[in-house]
């Protein structure tokens, strides 16, 4: 067999085996490499290159080495799942870098991290002032997570005493012009409902590039032909959401207003808007039949 053909066959074999072994190791190998997994990834790549190009040696021994490395990696993962001590030894412990706005210089030196590198990581989190940081921690993966002081944290509906409903998962029911039966069933909709919704927009399934049942149960379409305009099916829901945001903003302004007069003005306006919303809510949130 010619050398170039042998290299091609070995490479194809190495790719297939490497793909199957990587699938066996799972998604964590790609999305969140630990220290040991990083070493394993480098070694497996080197072994795959050896299998492809080293024509003077028994190439199947490379496959044996690949299987051995994957087996060790799987064993390490099983041990990590069973013991926190082993997890801490292999993946390292998380380290606090900032506490109550104070940089912990000792921990910074322990992680071999300079102040410039720390500030760079904070800026990536949109934090420019150390005093705004309540707590910053370096995870075992090397990522730095930050918790801001309470007055710098984003305002949420809970802070304003506003109760919000749960958000349902959107489901893609048409992809590349084909109806996806399982997501359609999970969304609680039927083929007959989908057909009616498509007929309302005068489109066929094979004309749809992507269609989703959104969190409010409405069908959102994206067609292959971008020149075709579709009716806005969620105008009422969008209007109601914008009015609720206005109400929340007014309540926030009433708490932050500098004078009692302005506080009362904002509060009265928010109350009137709340009463208006309670009257129009049945109309704006009514479901299509």
Q: For residue 85, what are the CA distances in angstroms to 11, 81, 91, 93, 94? A: 40, 10, 10, 10, 13
More confident residue, 231 or 267: 267
Q: What is the pLDDT of residues 5-15, one digit of tens each?
A: 766 777 777 77
More confident residue, 226 or 213: 213
Q: What is the pLDDT of residues 181-198, one digit of tens each?
A: 999 999 889 999 999 888
- 220 contacts 230 by C-beta, under 8 angstroms: no
Per-residue confidence (pLDDT) for residue 172, from 0 to 100: 93
Mean pLDDT on 252-275: 82
The topology (CATH level 3) of 95-152 is CRO Repressor (3.30.240)
**Among 154-158, 248-252, 274-278, the range of highest mean pLDDT:** 274-278
Query: How far apart, in whole angstroms, are the C-alpha atoms of residue 49 and residue 15?
Result: 10
Whose tokens are 């199957």? That residue is 20
Candidates 3.90.650.10, 3.30.450.20, 3.30.300.30, 3.30.240.20; correct CATH number of 171-232?
3.30.240.20
Query: How far apart, in whole angstroms, are the C-alpha atoms of residue 256 and residue 262?
Result: 9
β-strand partners of 178: 175
- 98 contacts 136 by C-beta, under 8 angstroms: yes
Calculate the average pLDDT of the chain.
Answer: 79
Per-residue confidence (pLDDT) for residue 253, from 0 to 100: 76
Q: What is the pLDDT of residues 69-120, one digit of tens each?
A: 778 878 887 887 888 787 777 777 788 999 988 999 999 998 888 999 999 9
Instruction: Give the number of other CB atoms < 10 A from CB of residue 96.
Output: 11
278 has a pLDDT exceeding 90: no
Mean pLDDT on 226-237: 60
User: Could you tell me which of 51, 40, 43, 41 has the C-alpha nearest to residue 15?
Assistant: 51
């Amino acid at each position: 067999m010619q050398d170039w053909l042998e290299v091609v066959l070995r490479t194809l074999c190495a790719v297939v085996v490497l793909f199957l072994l990587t699938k066996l190791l799972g998604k964590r190998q790609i999305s969140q490499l630990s220290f040991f997994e990083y070493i394993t990834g480098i070694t497996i790549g080197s072994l795959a290159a050896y299998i492809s190009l080293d024509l003077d040696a028994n190439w199947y021994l490379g496959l044996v080495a690949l299987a051995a490395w994957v087996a060790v990696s799987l064993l390490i993962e099983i041990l990590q799942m069973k013991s926190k001590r082993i997890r801490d030894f292999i993946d390292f412990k998380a380290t606090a870098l900032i506490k109550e706005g104070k940089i912990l210089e000792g921990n910074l030196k322990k992680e071999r991290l300079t102040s410039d590198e720390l500030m760079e990581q904070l800026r990536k989190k949109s934090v420019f002032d150390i005093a705004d940081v309540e707590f910053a921690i370096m995870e075992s993966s090397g990522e730095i997570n930050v918790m801001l002081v309470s007055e710098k944290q984003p305002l949420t509906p809970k802070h304003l005493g506003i109760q919000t409903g749960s958000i349902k998962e959107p489901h893609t029911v048409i992809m590349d012009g084909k109806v996806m039966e399982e997501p359609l069933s999970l969304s609680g909709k039927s083929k007959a409902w989908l057909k009616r919704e498509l007929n309302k927009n005068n489109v066929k399934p094979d004309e749809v590039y992507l269609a989703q049942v959104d969190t409010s149960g409405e069908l959102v379409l994206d067609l292959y032909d971008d020149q075709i305009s579709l009716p806005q099916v969620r105008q009422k829901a969008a209007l109601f959401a914008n009015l609720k945001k206005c109400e929340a903003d007014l309540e926030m302004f009433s708490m932050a207003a500098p004078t009692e007069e302005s506080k009362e003005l904002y509060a009265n306006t928010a109350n009137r808007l709340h009463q208006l919303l309670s009257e129009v809510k049945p109309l704006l949130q009514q479901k299509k039949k």
